[in-house]
Structure 1
Amino acid sequence: MAFELNGKTYETDEEGYLVNLSDWNEDVAKYLAEQEGVNLTDAHWEVINFLRDYYNEFQIAPAVRVLTKAIGKKLGPDKGNSQYLYELFPYGPAKQACKIAGLPKPTGCV
């Protein structure tokens, strides 16, 4: 599967995750968010950038529990909770946010 954006074709797997992580940029994130029905705000970008940093450090996309705990440590308890993250990414803070962030599907996500 694939989509075209700004004259370039981006390969995705059958669930819409980018095949090549290096293809990701902010325009791609905006496109993927639009496909997911998410209107990106600064709060979304904060989580997306956190996820990309996390992935660069640990080479893994965190499952939701790990994500919630890690965000709580870095950004504070008001952001490191499931309710806040689900408000931003209603189809799953780990799964949906990782897709928009251009990362692979988190381990343990169905």
Structure 2
Amino acid sequence: MATTEIYRYLSLPSKEIPLDPEGYLVNRADWDQEVAEALALEEGIPLGDEHWEIIKVLRDFYARFEQAPAMRPLVKAVSRALGEEKGRSIHLMRLFPGSPPKVAARIAGLPKPTNCL
């Protein structure tokens, strides 16, 4: 089993969380709400209810398929779970600017989606 390189630590009042070179968690078990909020702040994103809805969909997707979704499967999963309006790319870009699959997966404590550069 390959080990993931620790690049830096996310410093929280109660703990230090190891991150890989791209800022994803080294240990998915380290994820909780406090970690998600700290990772989101690094991205300049204050988490609101709409963000948490997407994070839940992402974590459910990962639990089911054992991978974080790229953009097209993310849009489809969000549309199914939350309705077509919230499943639009533009909505996801507004919530998670840049690359919604990568940014949202990082905040959700999941590995980088496959097929995302």
Instruction: Tell me if both proteins adopt one fold, taking TM over 0.5 as the criterion.
Output: yes
- Letter matched to residue 98 of structure 2: Y
TM-score for both structures, normalised by structure 1: 0.96
- Aligned match of 1:87 in 73, 88, 94? 94
The CA deviation string for residues 26-78 of structure 1, in whole angstroms up to 9 with x for no partner, is 00000000000001110000001111111111110000111001111121100
Structure 1 segments of 4 or more deviating over 2 A? none
Percentage of identical aligned residues: 51
Q: Tell me by how many angstroms 1:25 deviates.
A: 0.2
- Aligned match of 1:41 in 41, 48, 57? 48
Q: Which runs of 5+ in 2 are unaligned?
A: 1-7
Higher relative contact order (CA 8 A, sep 6+): 1
1:1-110 aligned within 5 A: 1-110=8-117
Number of residue pairs aligned between Structure 1 and Structure 2: 110
What is the aligned-residue RMSD (CA, Å)? 0.8
Q: Which runs of 5+ in 1 are unaligned?
A: none
**Any idea what SS the aligned residue of 1:94 has?**
helix
TM-score for both structures, normalised by structure 2: 0.91
